[in-house]
Homo-oligomer: A and B are copies of this chain.
Amino acid sequence: MTTFTPDARLATNNVLLCEWPLSQVWLVNDSRYPWIMLVPKRTAIVEIFDLDEPDQIQLGRESLRLAQYMLKYFTADKMNVAAIGNVVPQLHVHHVARFKTDATWPGTVWGVGTPVPYEAMALSAMTEELSAQLTELLA
């Protein structure tokens, strides 16, 4: 474990699933959509191009592996992958598994409606399984 601490707005209510070489992997606590953020463990980085080149390549690799994993694991219809950061500038990359039946399809998820936290048991089970599998994925 590193001692990297992300912006509190990225961490609050969310769950740290694992640490990858570059990024922390955070589950967003919103049961409306499977939603995982990569937060590179670098300070004072806002845009992807603020990373140095090896980190840019590593972020691309981690993002692709995560998106591929999520599409399959959640049997989703589409992955939405985005670096936005208008509210929290610290670089974080959203990975949202989307379904044609979900609450806002085909619209995007940011700023729409109100997050619905997982129930405690469901969150605990999901965290345990995702932590193990995602740790394994980049081991």
Residues of A that sit less than 8 Å from B by CB: 46-49, 56-57, 60, 63-64, 67-68, 71, 78-87, 89, 98, 105-108, 110-111
**A24 to B56 alpha-carbon distance, docked (Å):** 22
Provide the residues of chain B in CB contact with A67, threshold 8 Å.
47-49
Q: List 22 A-B contacts (CB under 8 A).
A: A46-B78, A47-B68, A49-B64, A56-B60, A57-B57, A57-B60, A60-B60, A78-B86, A78-B89, A80-B82, A80-B84, A80-B85, A80-B86, A81-B82, A82-B83, A82-B84, A84-B108, A86-B98, A86-B106, A86-B108, A107-B110, A108-B111
**Looking at chain A's contact residues, is the secondary structure mostly helix, strand, loop, or mixed?**
mixed
Are B46 and A81 touching (Cβ within 8 A)?
no
Are A68 and B84 touching (Cβ within 8 A)?
no
Identify the closest chain B residue to A81 (Cβ).
B83
Provide the residues of chain B in CB contact with A98, threshold 8 Å.
86
Partner of A47, one of B57, B71, B111: B71
Provide the residues of chain B in CB contact with A89, threshold 8 Å.
78
A49-B68 contact in complex given A107-B110, A107-B111, A108-B108, C-beta closer than 8 Å: yes
